[in-house]
């Protein structure tokens, strides 16, 4: 299993590198971005690193081998397509990319991003990715106080064709935007250690349900 902590702590100091265009399969996009942050400065990269390690610990405790796409929160990158390649090379059962959104301040909630059906790119993982997305979505909705998104996608689901981490995946792949960092209520949860424990347990349970 590959867990992908979104962004990286050094991205803001390496803008030339992360702005470099990469081929996501149906176009070109920057290698990576700096990510979002709460209004009081808690960065997405720190949130994703924290939650990803909590998810990994729970999966490993259940006997699952886990690879993280970056070793710490002080470097830059990897590019989105390179993150997908890590899972592809490992022939991972699946890959889950952990994020937190920077949406409109009045919008709340989490949403799971699934790959669009793209011939020659995602057609081999499309159905399995949808099953993975449902399992993770349902676990987060049932076992955490974060509601499905009120502003992105529908009922906590969104399909996108513009993400290299999905387009370039050869294993089932989803992103989860765990909440809206720009919303005050969500931000309070996203900064809470107890919520991050709940969230990590839910994501891990969704992954285990899929893998089982």
What digits encode the pLDDT tens for the residues 115-126?
999 999 999 999
Please give the residue range of the domain that contains residue 114.
Answer: 2-211
Catalytic site positions: 177
Structure tokens at 152: 């992105």
CB atoms within 10 A of CB 151: 15
Question: Above pLDDT 70, what percent of the chain?
Answer: 100
pLDDT at 14: 98
pLDDT at 157: 98
DSSP assignment letter at 106: T
- Residue 68's DSSP bridge partners are 3
Q: CB neighbours of 43 closer than 8 A, spacing ≥ 6?
A: 7, 9, 35, 36, 37
pLDDT at 29: 98
Segment 100-141, tens digit of pLDDT: 999 999 999 999 999 999 999 999 999 999 999 999 999 999
Confidence of residue 10 (pLDDT cuts 50, 70, 90): very high
CATH of the domain at 84: 3.40.630.40
Cα radius of gyration (the chain): 16
Give me the number of domains the chain comprises.
1
Angle, CA 114 vertex, CA 120 and CA 108 arms, to 5°? 155
Confidence of residue 37 (pLDDT cuts 50, 70, 90): very high
């Amino acid at each position: 299993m590959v867990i992908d902590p979104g962004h990286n702590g050094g991205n803001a100091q390496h803008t030339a590198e992360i702005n470099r265009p990469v081929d996501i399969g149906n176009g070109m996009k920057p290698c990576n971005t700096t990510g979002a942050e709460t209004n009081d400065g808690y960065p997405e990269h720190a949130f994703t690193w924290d939650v990803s390690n909590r998810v990994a610990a729970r999966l490993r405790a259940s006997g699952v081998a886990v690879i993280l796409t970056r070793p710490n929160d002080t470097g830059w990158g990897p590019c989105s397509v390179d993150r997908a390649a890590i899972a592809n090379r490992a022939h991972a059962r699946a890959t889950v990319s952990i994020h937190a959104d920077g949406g409109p301040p009045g919008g709340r909630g989490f949403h799971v991003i699934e790959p669009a059906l793209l011939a020659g790119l995602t057609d081999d993982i499309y159905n399995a990715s949808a099953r993975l997305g449902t399992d993770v979505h349902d676990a987060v909705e049932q076992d955490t106080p974060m509601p499905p998104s009120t502003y992105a996608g529908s009922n906590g689901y969104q399909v996108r064709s513009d993400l290299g981490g999905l387009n370039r995946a050869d294993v089932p792949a989803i992103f989860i935007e765990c909440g809206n960092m720009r919303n005050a209520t969500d931000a309070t949860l996203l900064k809470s250690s107890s919520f991050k424990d709940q969230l990590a347990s839910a994501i891990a349970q969704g992954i285990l349900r899929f893998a089982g």
